[in-house]
Structure 1
Amino acid sequence: MVDVQPPPLRTLDDFLLGSARFSVPDVRNLDRWNNRIINNLLYYQSNYLASAVAFLLVVGYFQPLQLILGATVVVLLFLGFVWAAENKAVIRRFRRNHPSLALAAILGSSYLLLSVLGGVAYSFSCDFVVLIIFLRLRSLKNKLENKLESIGLKRTPMGLLLEALGQEQEAGS
Structure 2
Amino acid sequence: MTKKKMEVEISPLRSLDDFLLVSARFQIPNFKDFEKWGNRVISNLLYYQTNYFVLSIVIFILVGIIHPMKMLCGMLAIGVAFGLFYYLTNARRSATRFKKDHPVISVLIVLGGGYFIVYMLGSVIIFLLGILLPVVVTFIHSSMRLRNVKNKLVNKMEVIGLKRTPMGLFLDAMDLHNRHRPEANASRSTSVPLGFLGPSELHMLKQR
Tell me, yes or no, whether TM beats 0.5: yes
TM-score by length of 2: 0.56
Aligned-partner Cα distance in 2 for 1:148–1:70 = 43
Partner of 1:121: 129
1:54 maps onto 2:58 in alignment = yes
User: Which whole-Å deviations, capped at 9, do the CAs of 1:128-160 have from their partners, x for residues lacking one?
Assistant: 232211211100110110111111010000001
Aligned-partner Cα distance in 1 for 2:56–2:77 = 13
Contact 1:39 1:142 in 2 (8 A): yes
Kindly report the root-mean-square deviation, in angstroms, between the aligned alpha carbons of the 2 structures.
2.7
Q: How does 1:98-117 map to 2 (within 5 A)?
A: none
Partner of 1:39: 43
- Percent identity reads 41
Contact 1:66 1:120 in 2 (8 A): no
Aligned-partner Cα distance in 2 for 1:19–1:159 = 25
1:162 maps onto 2:171 in alignment = yes
Partner of 1:133: 142
Q: What SS does structure 2 have at the residue aligned with 1:171?
A: helix
TM-score by length of 1: 0.66
Consecutive unaligned residues of structure 1, counting only runs of 5 or more, are 73-113
Structure possessing the higher radius of gyration over alpha carbons: 2
**Residue from 26, 32, 35 that aligns with 1:28:** 32
Partner of 1:65: 72
Q: After TM superposition, give the deviation of residue 69 of structure 1 in Å.
A: 6.8
Aligned-partner Cα distance in 2 for 1:155–1:70 = 36
Contact 1:59 1:125 in 2 (8 A): no
Q: How many residues align?
A: 131
Q: After TM superposition, give the deviation of residue 62 of structure 1 in Å.
A: 3.1
Alpha carbons of 1:34 and 1:62: their partners in 2 closer, same or farther (altered >3 Å)?
same
